[in-house]
Amino acid sequence: MKLIFLFLTIGLAGCEASDCCKHGVVEDDGNVCVDLLTNKTSSTSLTCSHVDHLSLQMFNFTVSEDSLILNLNEDMVIELESDKFCVSNGTRFSDDPVAVICSDVDEKILEESVYGYCMIVSVVFLVITVIVYSMLPKLRDLLGKSIINFCASLAIGLSTLAIMNIMEYSDLKWCAVRGFVAYFFILATFFWSNSISIQILRSLERPTSIDYSWKAFMWYALYAWGCPTILTIILAIVNFTPGKHRKPGIGLNTCWFFDYKQQWYYMYSVMTILIVSNMVIFMYISLSLWRHTFASTHIKALKYKFWMTVRMFIVMGLAWIFEMISSLSKPHIIWVILDFFNLLQGLLLFLVLVVFRKRVIKELYNKGWLECVAGCVERHLAVGDDEEDVVEHTIGVALEEK
């Protein structure tokens, strides 16, 4: 998606500068003039291939006959020459004056719509995972409930990003809503991954218990949903409060952050903290588990759940680490390949949480939902014992009441 400069706080002085269009107005988010009476289009007075729009409603800027001055902050002022900008009295869907400026944008190797459709594939597999875990009572323990919320938040976040990549926007208000929704659910996914890590850590204290109650889950839910809620509210306040602070830019002139700097400042920084936190927890758990020298089915089950959680973290964590690194460099085919790993993380999580987890396959088979592939399932289950098949000491409610 196109990104513009940092937030601007400046005033409009005059409009003697070059008009973008001799007839009509500028097309929204484009470098084309459109005659509203005849619906004919023509090129603007700019010759650059990439442009951004600065709306007077959102930004104040100073225009003279031969320059446009952008005061990014007290210490940084940018002046654009006359051949790098033009002004228009409005756009197809807005009567607010806009300045159209040339922007330096790296050429994309693939269209954003391609990324959007790949996200939809991920969303489909995440939704299937949520349905499977929701319909099987034995999977709805504390870990299972958390996995449901983890996959649901990632599915909603990716579906919102997919819409932003596939559909063009004409209303900045709805555009802002989509941006904040995506921000909230993507961050919620990371907080749920951290919550799951903490659950595995606390399981070291009582590995023989499987908690099916809602009491403990509500505390984890308060943490995993509450933190992104607070951060999203703070982001909105910072975004729409006038001033010379570093604004995210969501809904001001684009659906997402102004550029990678804002994204790192408000989003990737939080992700990095949670990723590092998970890594520290995983190292501590691995050391604690491997200190046990005695054989125990409960320790065996806890080890399996731990490694399943690690695989979840690798699939999601590495995907977003690649995304964060690629934001700091120019487009390259290597980053395109790694981006597809990020975009298809829903499929990989489905394999980890459903296909390769024998407990899930066994429950689906017992329900009669895998009759068409019964032979394959029986061979799959016969390869080895279910690592989670232990005598369960449940907490909270009886299994049939869950």
The whole-number pLDDT of residue 173 equals: 81
pLDDT tens digits, 23-55:
778 776 677 888 877 777 787 877 776 777 776
Helix H, strand E, coil C: the string for the chain is CCCCCCCCCCCCCCCCCCECCCCCEECCCCCEEECCCCCCEEECCCCCCCEEEEECCCCCCEECCCEEEEEEECCEEEEEEHHHEEEECCECCECCCEEEEECCCCCCCCCHHHHHHHHHHHHHHHHHHHHHHHHCHHHCCHHHHHHHHHHHHHHHHHHHHHHHHHCCCCCHHHHHHHHHHHHHHHHHHHHHHHHHHHHHHHHCCCCCEEECCCHHHHHHHHHHHHHHHHHHHHHHHHHHCCCCCCCCCECCCECCCCCHHHHHHHHHHHHHHHHHHHHHHHHHHHHHHCCCCCCCHHHHHHHHHHHHHHHHHHHHHHHHHHHHHHCCCCCCHHHHHHHHHHHCHHHHHHHHHHHCCHHHHHHHHHCCCCHHHHHHHHHHHHCCCCCCCCCCEEECCCHHHC
Given the candidates 1.20.1070.10, 3.30.830.10, 1.20.1530.20, 3.40.50.920, the CATH classification of the domain at 112-401 is 1.20.1070.10
What pLDDT score does 325 carry? 84
Output the pLDDT for position 64: 66
Distance (Å, rounded) from C-alpha 207 to C-alpha 292? 12
HSE at residue 164, side-chain half, CA atoms within 13 A, is 25
The amino acid sitting at 208 is T
Residue with tokens 């758990």: 285
Low-confidence ranges of the chain (pLDDT < 70): 1-18, 28-29, 49, 55-80, 103-111, 170, 206-212, 244, 253, 292-298, 331-332, 373-402
Q: How far apart are CA 44 and CA 34, in angstroms?
A: 9
Terminal CA-CA length for the chain: 45
Query: 357-378: per-residue pLDDT in tens?
Result: 888 888 888 887 777 766 665 5
Distance (Å, rounded) from C-alpha 329 to C-alpha 335? 9
In the chain, where are the structural domains located? Answer: 25-102, 112-401
